[in-house]
Amino acid sequence: MSKWLRRIGVLATATLTAFGLTTGSAAQAATPVHYTGVLPDGASWVADVPGAWNGTVILYSHGFGPLVARDAPDEPTGQALLAAGYALVGSSYSGTSLWALASAPRDQFASLDELVRKIGEPRRTIAWGTSMGGLVSALEAESGHRRLDGALTTCGLVAGALNLNNYQLDGEYALSRLLAPAQPVKLVRYASAEEASAAGAALTKIVTDGQGTAAGRARIALGAALMNTPPWLTGEAPPGPADYAGQEQQQQQALAQFVLGFVVPGRYQIEQAAGGNSAFNAGVDYRALLSGSPLARQVRALYRTAGLDLDADLAELTRHADVTPDRQAVGTLARTSMATGRLRVPELNLHTTADHLVPVEQENSYAHRVRAAGREPLLRQAYVGAAGHCAFRPSETLAALHALESQVDTGHWPDLRPERLNAAAAALGAPGRYLRYTPAPLTGSDRR
């Protein structure tokens, strides 16, 4: 632990320097050398190397979005890492779909190779990914043991694409079927990005209109539960455990303000990459599905308030569920976009407790996969009590990085209790919000 705390002290000084909060020679650090290039498959790469390189490279994997090379999760974190002596490198990924999992690990390691040709072999390389990039880093941790020393996933989509597509389909189907049965929304097999965007807009309007009645709010809560949507969006703390109306209001706001408008068009990108639709709900028992949700009590309470028959609605969903998968698409995503859990290097997962785009319950699914593969000693998970996707303070992620580095140095995990991580974050300039937390099972996952 002493080495970990000493490293925190070094980075604390570097972090303050990066924000111009110190004076003297430390603040006069040379401008990092910036590198760019293009890989043979067309992916671009970018790297930044500080003058006083500490020998460690951060191989950064960006999330779902434009295929543009990035080498840090955000500007403040990147500046703090450079000030502390870390070299940074990352690629754009190649391909025509934003869901670039088929090429991302290959392009990441190729970018690392390009940087090594310019600066020499690093003493240590850490993979760091956010959101979809967290899945990239988890895949790298399974295949790159001769190139990597450890992996840090933050807000990572570690349960993989097959699970993502299925639980999102469950929630979208419930919202469409129960709130607007006369206006069915197309949910899979989009012919174009425009068609997918129109579907997202239609579901957003349905959820916006449904909020006006008690029946609509109850059914929105059901759809949100099936979609693993957390009941906390705004405020310093979540609504109270029995404030079911307040919980639903925040779920509805998240669904209507950004979730549906993002994930439904996102499905088109995944279908493009997979060559078809991998999601299905034919044969799903929605009563059984809800019974396993941590939000079931909220849903039942709101149905009672509205005077609705929950069993009847669940039976309706089960009876009409008829979406079947394209087997080729399932195979493609199983091969490219699902972690096996067979870790070859230490991995630390970091997640906020109320993530609306990549639910924290994904960590539960991933931990089971790692355990089944017999690699549990290599995995640790930590949780930040905050609402939002990747809504970490730089000090929180940097404290996690140093905890991982301590494991790499010693072969043993340091003390990862929340109070220790919070103290480390505070030493880096901002209080940490780590807490003791165990995520619930991911509703709708591991479907056969």
Tens digits of per-residue pLDDT, 382-398? 999 999 999 999 999 99
Question: Cα 326 vs. chain centroid, distance in angstroms?
Answer: 25
Under 8 Å between Cβ of 359 and 441: no
- Amino acid sitting at position 245: A
Q: How confident is the model at residue 23 (pLDDT cuts 50, 70, 90)?
A: very low
pLDDT band at 226 (very low <50, low <70, confident <90, very high): very high
97, 272 contact by CB (below 8 A): yes
Specify the pLDDT at position 144: 84
Contacts of 320 by beta carbon, 8 Å cutoff, 6+ apart: 177
Mean pLDDT, residues 95-122? 97
Q: Is it true that domain 2-159+342-427 has CATH number 1.10.287.3510?
A: no
Q: Which pLDDT belongs to residue 145?
A: 79
Mean pLDDT (whole number) for 24-32: 55
pLDDT at 6 over 60: no
The CA–CA distances, whole Å, from 12 to 20, 71, 83, 423, 430 equal: 13, 21, 10, 12, 10
Residue 4 has pLDDT above 90, yes or no: no
- Give Cβ neighbours of residue 20 (< 8 Å, ≥ 6 apart): 27
Does 24 score more than 70 pLDDT?
no
Task: Answer whether 71's CB lies under 8 Å from 48's CB.
Answer: yes
Q: Are 151 and 346 in contact (CB under 8 A)?
A: yes
pLDDT given for residue 447 in this prediction: 87
pLDDT over 50 (residue 17): no
**Across 412-419, average pLDDT:** 98
Mean local confidence (pLDDT), 366-376: 98
What pLDDT is attached to residue 5? 54
Report the pLDDT value the prediction gives residue 20, as an integer from 0 to 100: 39
* DSSP code at position 197: H
Is the pLDDT at 21 greater than 80? The verdict is no
**CA atoms of 280 and 90, how far apart (whole Å):** 34
User: How high is the mean pLDDT of the chain?
Assistant: 94
Confidence of residue 8 (pLDDT cuts 50, 70, 90): low
Residue-level pLDDT at 28:
39
Residue 168 pLDDT > 80? yes
With H, G, I as helix, E, B as strand and everything else as coil, classify residue 398: helix
Strand ranges (E), 265-378: 347-354
> Between these two residues, 38 and 20, which has the higher pLDDT value?
38
CB atoms within 10 A of CB 31: 9
Per-residue confidence (pLDDT) for residue 448, from 0 to 100: 77
What's the average model confidence in pLDDT over 294-298? Answer: 98
- Give CA separation, 31 vs 50, 51, 114, 343, in Å: 7, 7, 21, 36
72: nearest Cα among 94, 50, 55: 50
Q: Is the per-residue pLDDT at 289 higher than 80?
A: yes
- Specify whether the CB–CB gap between 220 and 255 falls below 8 A: yes
Tens digit of each residue's pLDDT (9 = 90 or more) over 137-153 = 999 999 987 899 999 99
**What integer is the mean pLDDT of 57-61?**
98
pLDDT of the residue at 7: 58
Residue 356 has pLDDT above 50, yes or no: yes
Region 245-251: mean pLDDT is 98
User: In this model, does residue 406 exceed pLDDT 60?
Assistant: yes
Contact yes or no for 368/376 (Cβ under 8 A): no
Q: Where are the domains of the chain?
A: 2-159+342-427, 161-332
- Is 159's pLDDT higher than 90? yes
pLDDT band at 30 (very low <50, low <70, confident <90, very high): confident
Percent of the chain with pLDDT over 70: 94
- Looking at residue 16, what is its pLDDT? 44
Cross-strand pairs, 382: 350
